[in-house]
Structure 1
């Protein structure tokens, strides 16, 4: 187990991208789905236009100033994409695969709307501690995983019960043990970190693998752990892997659909919250990431449900 202790040296653009990492992950899934749809429809012009909108949004996230107009009215983007998809499907009888793509795009757009609301809620103080409802947090994790599963076009399932697991299925379990049964006290941005590390573990774990994640809240700290049976990190790169843009040499040629700096964001948040982070990894065996954040005494009581 290696404790990560190095200082991060990030410029303003990199910090902006880190803050928007969850958006980039969602937009990359959306872009992939639209790209497949455009190909299936013979490079449909409306679908290509929708794809260009998504890429333009992703590029705008590089600076807060460029991102602001897009984030101010996400419904307009969603409506425009809906209109373009409808145009692209005119005079077409959708087959099962095309209908599945449309359903997946709907679920991804819903997740995008959730991300915007989360950003608005923490805009004044992203690293400030706040109360989150546990059940909606669990459901948000699962909605993301189901969008990833749909995007696989049947190549694998994501399940929670080992008795259901088939050779190509992922077994993914997320446990949350909070002091207040219905609420959790964490930095507002930490839900991004949990989500990103969970998605990252899935990305680098082959189908048929196992991913366990858990959060434990005590009076003194919040501890989060993700443990997978993935490809692992080369031992000499374990500390380097938190640097912006660094990927393990064993996966550099593997295409990914994420922003590529989920571990950077996790360590950036940990550092700013005076926490600690450890990584234990073996090639071909898997990776375990542990995070511990000192928990301040809440200034408020949990809101009523």
Structure 2
């Protein structure tokens, strides 16, 4: 199904706060991961009173991010919060005496440090995008693939050992996700896109993982043609009920067959994907069948300035068209 003008009301009806939440979607997802880790630690340590303030701070940070305009949110905004989280874990490590408790804290520290690293990277990307929203960047195919290998590693790390992400079917165990990630280019081995679209790719891959049971498979493809970038993500997960596909781009809407899942997401990843696709004058298609999976295709036109230079430039403003 190609998304047409009838689906764009999902964007026109956004409130100011919802619009900001869409633009800050990646940060909200990371805050949700942090909150989940803190809730787990609160239960494991039994020291609920020590977590009251930091969990309250986490909720406040999420509210602030929802209301923030991307141009006013920079890495320094989250540094005090990061320090407070790590300081709490350091304190608990001195208080806990048993080996199991110490290991749980060390594991949590490792996960949270990884999340904070990703958060710093997203904040830096946001800052760059805010200062030059029309900028497109050029990546070598190898560079782009390596960036996403780091992303897959971070997702796996955040699972706390619940699953692995493998790319060789011979390595797949019953609880592993098999992810096939292919990137190709017809022109000088390069891929071009705005930073914000790279974010959309990450979000949609994360969605595919969330709504596919461990043991499932996810196919991801990025293909650079001369005048167009094509992205596809397809999973064999839970899919979307047929009568709900038209609503899935509405802010906060989650299909009825997945509402029982504790995804920690806000339910607007697809709203963001549509919003960015429309901003970039692109097209989006979605095919989904309940209990069989979902396939999303996005195509965006490439600025002529990149094409004219044979994709050799590392960056260019779309206003140069």
Cα deviation 1:251-303 (Å, max 9, x = unaligned): 12222122221111001111111111111111111110000111112357433
Where has structure 1 moved over 6 Å in runs of 4 or more?
Answer: none
What is the Cα-based RMSD across aligned positions, in Å? 2.3
**CA distance, structure 2, for counterparts of residue 199 and residue 17 of structure 1:** 17
Change in Cα spacing, 1:65 to 1:273, as seen in structure 2 (3 Å) is closer
Measured after TM superposition, the shift of residue 134 of structure 1 is: 4.5
**CA distance, structure 2, for counterparts of residue 149 and residue 35 of structure 1:** 19
Aligned match for 2:106, one of 86, 99, 103: 99
Residue 313 of structure 2: aligned partner: 302
**CA distance, structure 1, for counterparts of residue 90 and residue 48 of structure 2:** 11
Alignment of 1:89-168 (within 5 A): 89-93=93-97, 94-95=99-100, 96-126=103-133, 128-132=135-139, 134-168=141-175
Alignment of 1:174-213 (within 5 A): 174-179=181-186, 183-213=190-220
Change in Cα spacing, 1:88 to 1:76, as seen in structure 2 (3 Å) is same
Check whether the contact 2:2–2:283 (CA below 8 A) recurs between aligned residues: yes
Change in Cα spacing, 1:54 to 1:142, as seen in structure 2 (3 Å) is farther
Residue 22 of structure 1: aligned partner: 26
Return the structure number with greater helix share.
2
Measured after TM superposition, the shift of residue 197 of structure 1 is: 0.1
Residue 319 of structure 2: aligned partner: none
Q: TM-score if structure 2 supplies the norm length? A: 0.86
Measured after TM superposition, the shift of residue 78 of structure 1 is: 2.2
Identify the range of structure 1 (65-74 vs 220-229) with the bigger mean alpha-carbon deviation.
65-74
Number of residue pairs the alignment of both structures matches: 303
The alignment partner of 1:298 has SS state of: helix
**CA distance, structure 1, for counterparts of residue 267 and residue 260 of structure 2:** 13
Gaps of 5+ in 2: 316-321
Residue 221 of structure 1: aligned partner: 228
Residue 260 of structure 2: aligned partner: 253
Identify the range of structure 1 (245-254 vs 57-66) with the bigger mean alpha-carbon deviation.
57-66
